[in-house]
Amino acid sequence: MKKLSVFLILSLMLPFASFEANGDSMSHVPENESWHKEVKTGPLQEEIGKLQPGATLVLEKGIHQGPIHIKTPGITIKGKPGAVLSGQNVGSIIVIEADGVTIDGLTLKDSGGSYSDADSAIATRKANNIRLLNNKIIDSLFGIDIYSGTKILIEGNEITSKNLDIGLRGDAIRLWSVTDSEVLNNVWAHSRDVVSWYSKKITFKGNKGSYSRYSIHSMYSQFLVIQNNTFNKNQVGIFLMYGSDFIITNNVIQRAQGATGMGIGLKETSNILAQNNTINYSAVGVMIDNSPFKIGSRNWFHNNKLAFNGKGVLISSDLPGGEFKKNIFLGNLDDVETDNRRGSRSVWDKNTWDKYQGFDRDNNKIGDTPFIIRKYGESLKGTNPKSAFFYATPLFSLLSLIEEVTNFGDPVTVLIDQNPQLKD
């Protein structure tokens, strides 16, 4: 029985054995179409089947019965105000297997509830030049599921999942092996995640996500631009794993709370520019784990504001090449914390720290002495996860004071900012 268990575990792991956490791994993407089964269609399919390439079908106000399966290239399905397409709780509502298709202005509701089939409001299968515009998706397990395609535009859609616990909802938007595409000005809420897996050159801009798990979760992707988005009351804002070459700018991430709450998380991720982002009221503002991962790569965190978080930055393990400059740390319980008994390997320079207690005698807005964060002993405060319930209480403040005054052993210097900027 033990040999059988080992065999099963190895069998499950083999499909992933060929992937490495570097840019070369993007050249091979696993083909997994197990959820792509025969589409069961509804009464509207008869009209869909009559459309010629390049034709437009306008749906009038009222409820139209799907699902539908689009195999004709270049067609447009446009809904007038009040036009609803129902999937009748069977499979995906719209399945697209043709290039150049546009879906515009529909209300889509009542997908099936199968996770293995990834029942969605809109599912595309190896289709290119797709435009999904101004649709409202309600009561659908997954929202928009894009499987392998290029030049996909997802813009102006409103998406919610079925009324389930957060881990049982489907993803609002899922991109799998997608390139040169845009996700713009969408609003999603009460879904699970928005994901980009094995994808390249995707722009996420102007979106609003709330009351979900991961606002954006990327794995094995490259060249993503994540810009001008607002993510509120999700468990995680932006989490990037095993990828490289991302630009993260001008986003607002608020109230990423709970045991795993964080604004931006990096795991084995390289060449990141995170600039002009605001992360407020979250359990952890930024989490760094084994990043930047590629030898010789860099991660830049510049001009970000981390305010009123439990931990401004949590260093699980930062590797050489990280750079934190001109960031503002304001009102965090801990500005920078480390999980290890060693200091940060990143460069820290010209950041603004509200906990800085030095002077500026020459009035150059730079502190006369460095700002130093030290980590003292390993008390209950730092070692027992259950103690988080008492975080920021007078008890913990007393423990911190005792650690610093008694100084059991040599403290760890977490970071030194030689040029701390002073607040105006």
Nearest alpha-carbon partner for 238 in 218, 208, 221, 268: 218
Q: What is the pLDDT of residues 279-315, one digit of tens each?
A: 999 999 999 999 999 999 999 999 999 999 999 999 9
Which pLDDT does position 26 carry in this prediction? 45
Please report which confidence band the pLDDT of residue 206 belongs to, taking 50, 70 and 90 as the band edges.
very high
What's the rounded mean pLDDT across residues 350-369? 91
> Across the chain, what does the average pLDDT equal?
87
Instruction: Please tell me the distance from the alpha carbon of residue 243 to that of residue 237, in angstroms, as a whole number.
Output: 17
Q: Please name every residue paired with 417 in a beta bridge, in sequence order, or none if there are none.
A: 371
Confidence of residue 397 (pLDDT cuts 50, 70, 90): low
Residue type, 156: G
End-to-end Cα, the chain, rounded Å: 68
Q: Compute the C-alpha angle 392/396/402, nearest 5°.
A: 140
Is the pLDDT higher at 23 or at 209? 209
Residues of the chain with pLDDT > 90, as a percent, come to: 75
Residue 19 pLDDT grade (very low, low, confident, very high; cuts 50, 70, 90):
very low
pLDDT at 215 over 90: yes
pLDDT recorded at residue 12: 37
Distance, CA of 295 to CA of 268 (rounded, Å): 11
DSSP string, 173-224: EEEEEEEEEEEES-EEES-SEEEEES-EEEEEES-EEESSSEEEEEES-BS-
